[in-house]
Amino acid sequence: MSAPIVFLLDVLPADAVADEATLEASITSGGDGSGVLSVFDLGPARGDGIFETIGVVGRHAQSVDAHLARLTESAAILDLPAPNHAQWRTAVDRAVAALPDAEQSAVRLVLTRGSGERPTAWVSATPASGFPERADGIEVVLLDRGLSSDVQERSPWLLAGAKTLSYAVNMAALREAHRRGADDVLFVSSDGFVLEGPTSTVVARIRGTFVTPPASSGILPGTTQLALWEYLEAEGHPCEHRMLTPDDVMQADAVWLLSSVRLAAPVAAVDGRPVGIDRGLTAELNAALLARTE
């Protein structure tokens, strides 16, 4: 097992124009990551922070610009300092360069409110294991999220659409899925619309059109879904954002859960009811996502 890779960031203002030497000096090794955080840091103490997970194929970090854009949006929602993209990109590059050889890896970006006047920030990197679910599919259960699909507009203080460190509910939902003999979850709004998974975006192919819920429904905009849309539209496939019901998902031609490292995992069953898997198309989609150069 390889040693952990951690880099700490001395956070620079978003508009700071720094030369390469300044950027490098603002990023220091965090060793193995132990003994780094204050017990008073509001990230681990209250979940008061944000993060992104970037998929790495070989030595290429994918969709970095999209992840940094989403990190910036999350920071704005939580009133955290906007990230300096050049600094974070430099930290990502250093983390990727330090990784051992692996087909796939993951780089995690974290920004917390810290324990005083300054935020805490770090980047970590780890190799990722194989993903048999890309071929075998996953079984999901529908769970009530307890929030309406207009939560983002009605209750912005609930931080819908931000990728926060407060993942206790998401992890509890996954444990509930496992108790029910399933692998993953599709959250449903209190007014009856399918939203997203605890760590993924849902995409359904319905009568030949690829559909995903709109960000206005209070979901986290998916970076992998954005990359998939670019590929599908270039190939001439119709794509759209619209609300989905559980019946839409049950009757779809095929359904996938998308995330940055696992990529496109086909859904094989919803609440125990089989859903068709298009293995050929799934392989095509994952090959396209793995081959990204941006």
The β-bridge partners of 106 are: 55, 126
Predicted pLDDT of residue 1: 56
- What's the CATH number where 257 sits? 3.20.10.10
* 27: CATH: 3.30.470.10
Of 101, 127, 153, the position where a domain reaches its end is 127
Question: Which of 127, 147, 162 marks a domain boundary?
Answer: 127
What contacts 263, CB < 8 A, 6 or more positions away? Answer: 55, 131, 134, 224, 285, 286, 289, 290
Q: Looking at residue 47, what is its pLDDT?
A: 96
Do 204 and 80 fall within a single domain?
no
Q: Which residues of the chain have pLDDT under 70?
A: 1-2
Q: Are 37 and 76 found together in one domain?
A: yes
Does one domain contain both 139 and 64?
no
The Cα-based distances of 244 to 80, 95, 181, 187, 248 in angstroms read 32, 38, 24, 11, 6
pTM for this entry? 0.95
Tell me: do 282 and 168 sit in the same domain: yes
Which structural domain, as residue segments, surrounds residue 137? 133-290
Do 219 and 161 have their domain in common? Answer: yes
Residue type, 235: E
Burial class (CB in 10 A: 0-12, 13-18, 19+), 19: exposed
End of a domain among 96, 127, 158?
127
Strand partners, 28: 8
My answer on whether 141 and 286 are in the same domain is: yes
